[in-house]
């Protein structure tokens, strides 16, 4: 159980860091807050990352342009699931 929690914590840190960096590079406002939400919700299997993407997408739609598309692809990359084959 202890190792599982450590693994979850490391995954949460990784997703939060990658999301924060990605949102910052995309120029999304409140990138740190959105990354913190993504990191915390990573703990919830399956639905957590989906729920975490909703606020980021809403903020990205306000920014306009191609930003919502890039933000939609970012959580998959942060979770290591973005291989396009």
Are the C-beta atoms of residues 24 and 16 closer than 8 Å to each other? no
Q: What is the pLDDT along the chain (85 residues), one digit of tens a residue?
A: 889 899 889 988 988 998 899 889 988 899 999 999 989 998 888 888 888 888 988 998 988 888 888 888 876 655 555 444 4
Please provide the DSSP assignment of 4-52 as one string.
HHHHHHHHHHHHHHHHHHHHHHHT-TTHHHHHHHHHHHTTSTTHHHHHH
């Amino acid at each position: 159980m202890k190792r599982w929690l450590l693994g979850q914590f490391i995954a949460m840190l990784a997703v939060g860091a990658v999301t924060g960096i990605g949102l910052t590079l995309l120029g999304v406002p409140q990138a740190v807050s959105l990354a913190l939400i993504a990191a915390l919700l990573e703990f919830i299997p399956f639905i957590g990352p989906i729920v975490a993407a909703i606020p980021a997408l809403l903020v990205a739609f306000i920014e306009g342009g191609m930003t919502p598309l890039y933000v939609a692809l970012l959580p998959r990359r942060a979770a290591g699931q973005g291989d396009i084959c």
